[in-house]
Amino acid sequence: MKLYRPVIPAFVLMLVLSSCKFSCKVGAIDEDKQAGNTQGPVRIGDAIVYNGIQLTSKNIKLNKAYLVFENGEKVPDDNIVDFTSPVKLLILIDSGWTSKNNKVMIDGSEKVIDEEGRLILNKEDLFGDYPDGASEKDAKILGFTANIKLRKGVPPTSFNVITRVWDKNSEAYVEAKYKLYSK
């Protein structure tokens, strides 16, 4: 029986999570997808923040941060979701990135941690698709999509998501932390 003990937590985790994916996007978003995000804001510095997102930054002037589903619909203020649709974190930045030749060299990482403290996803080099940098305009709108799928019948659970983006040419960064709860 002792031989199976290390395997049991891994097996339970496989039962709970069928998959966890992540993607990110830099650039313009449809203004209609921001509609409906007027309830429950709090102000953190100059930024208006929804969904209990915790923001920290250095040398970045933030405008807004909120969560939406893949179709652009606002995530409820309590962050209780059924995990049938990916959740996207949107961070709108007013200024702060260092630009060289109209390009901003940013990089980022994201972690997803379950309620037991287990690291489910640890994605680095989020902006690897932009080896020459992103345009100044595009770097003002950051989108990060977490796609967490739960198996049917799993008891309610939660996940902590931590996203960090930094400027490779300065000390500027922004970090967002939020929690998602299953129904």
Domain that holds residue 87: 2-182
Confidence category of residue 29, pLDDT binned at 50, 70, 90: very low
Phi, psi of 53 (to 5 degrees): -70, 135
What separation, in Å, do the N-terminal and C-terminal C-alpha atoms of the chain show? 34
Is the pTM higher than 0.85? The answer reads no
Q: How many domains does the chain have?
A: 1
Q: What tens digit of pLDDT does each residue of 93-119 get? A: 999 999 999 999 999 999 999 999 999
Q: In angstroms, rounded to a whole number, what is the distance separating the alpha carbons of residues 4 and 122?
A: 26
Cβ neighbourhood burial of 51 (10 Å; 0-12, 13-18, 19+): buried
Q: What tens digit of pLDDT does each residue of 53-87 get? A: 999 999 999 999 999 999 999 999 999 999 889 99
The average confidence (pLDDT) of the chain is: 81
